[in-house]
Amino acid sequence: MSQPIGELNPPVRLMLTPGPSSMDPRVYRAMATPIVGHMDPWFKGCMEDTQVLMRQIFQTENRITMPLSASGSGGIEASLVNTLEEGDEAIICVNGWFSDRMAEIAGRTPATVTRVESPYGTTVDPEEVRKAGKGRKIKIIGLAQGETSSGVLTQLAAFREVADELGALLIVDTVASLAAVPLHIDNERVDICFSGTQKAISAPPGMSPITVSPKAEEVFRNRKTKVQSWYFDLTTAMNYWGKDRLYHHTPPISLIFGLREAMRLTMEEGLENRWERHRQNQLALIAGLEAMGLELLVKAPAERLPTVTAVMIPNGIDDVKVRNQLLDEFNIEIAGGLGPLKAKIWRIGLMGYCSQKANVLLFLGAFEKVLLDQGYRVGSGAGVGAAVQIYTNVGAAAVAGR
């Protein structure tokens, strides 16, 4: 006889991971509202709200701006399969697990793909991209603004310059950076940009915001062949998210309710305020980690992604035991490394709703206790003390600047 399944009752965790992040209670409330049909006139108004907010967060006027019913990896795929055909050439900048995924997906199209690589924890040199494309007709250059696997931040301006020289579209992965790092799609002339809802926007997982410039949209419409994916063909998907609202697929209605509320809260806070909040909280976290004698993977401060801090695991300390004790004793989840960084780093996320002073101080205190239990020597209160000093200095500077 089968055993009855009990009511769902997940534990309440503090999600200090590279995604998903914990959500504001108001987002949960939005998701608990009644479902309506995806062709309901009221829902069409909700779709309009969602697109207005998404354009504000991307800082764009692009017509094609919508949430794909897919994770961030779906955003990668949509960006590449819509642009690349047989005979095209692509350059993908690879400096981590997810930019490597972009290269892998590009390699499954009929295009010729060139990888320009740098070690995990560093940025790709735009001059190497320039050299790789010299004398060739390059269709796209793809890169990650925020590489989730290593906590690296890449500045876009130099890559836009190289893309202009090569006549290429610029495709940017902002899954780990959108709404936490300065980004202005129109001013920076990014042709295709995709993200994920579960990170710094702090909405539920399962959607990938994407925006497409008029230049890239024209490329889509001048294809010689059909897009190899029916589902990710953006010209037909936009028929649903465009003014005609023609049926394409059934979207995740409750997730869109949550996304709308999360983006509304983002704009209520203000993008510049949100960017600064993420910056300050990471500075405090880093100060605390370094005061505990821990080493960061990303050496250059300007290349540190504010949402994901990669910390080297000290010799003799077990990665999994530390993460499990944090989870079991404090209900705090952090992540380990991926690929070549597996068992070499911890990844601590301060994303969206989770990027709060209280969470930084709570984590540093809990982390100190766990490290001590696991045999790592650290001065009592060193991490919290260093973080408090950062917050004190920030507060004093703000008062002085009034």
What is the pLDDT of the chain when averaged over all its residues? 96
One DSSP character per residue, 122-187 reads SPPPHHHHHHHHTTS---EEEEESEETTTTEE--SHHHHHHHHHHT-EEEEE-TTTTTTS---HHH
Cis amide bond preceding 20, omega within 30: yes
Instruction: Identify any residues that bridge with 62 across adjacent strands, giving them in sequence order.
Output: none
pLDDT in tens, 95-107: 999 999 999 999 9
List Cβ neighbours of 36 (8 Å cut-off, separation of 6 or more): 42, 43, 253
Residue 190 dihedral angles phi and psi, to the nearest 5°? -80, 130
Q: Please report which residue ranges of 292-400 form alpha helices under DSSP H.
A: 319-330, 357-373, 382-400
Q: Name the fold adopted by 25-267.
A: Aspartate Aminotransferase; domain 2 (3.40.640)
Please tell me the chain's helix, strand, coil percentages from 3-state DSSP, rounded to the nearest 5.
45, 15, 40
State the span(s) of the chain assigned CATH 3.90.1150.10: 271-400
Nearest partner of 322 among 372, 386, 393, 271, judged by Cα: 372
Q: What's the pLDDT at 134?
A: 96
Given a cut of 70, the residues of the chain with pLDDT beneath it are 1, 396-402
So what's the pLDDT on residue 238?
Answer: 87
Q: What backbone phi and psi angles, to 5 degrees, belong to 178? A: -60, 130
- Rounded Cα gap, residues 379 and 58, in angstroms: 43
Q: Which residues in the chain are classed under CATH 3.40.640.10? A: 25-267
Partner residues linked to 333 by β-bridges: 15
Predicted local confidence at residue 245, as pLDDT: 84
Q: How many residues does the chain have?
A: 402
The per-residue b/e assignment along 283-298, b for 16 or more CB within 10 angstroms, e otherwise, is: bbbbbbbebbebebbb
CA distance 150 to 142: 17
Q: Does domain 271-400 correspond to CATH entry 3.40.1360.10?
A: no
State the DSSP H helix or E strand holding residue 67, giving kind and residue range, or none if neither. Answer: strand 64-68
pLDDT of residue 201: 98
- In the three-class reduction of DSSP (H, G, I as helix; E, B as strand; rest coil), residue 311 is classed as strand
| CA dist list (Å): 295 to 17, 18, 100, 142, 304 | 18, 18, 25, 30, 13
Edge-to-edge strand list for the sheet holding 335-336: 308-312, 345-349, 335-336
State residue 401's pLDDT score. 57
pLDDT at 244: 83
φ/ψ region of 43 (left if φ > 0, alpha if ψ in -120 to 50, else beta) reads alpha
Give the helix/strand (H/E) hosting 265.
helix 253-269
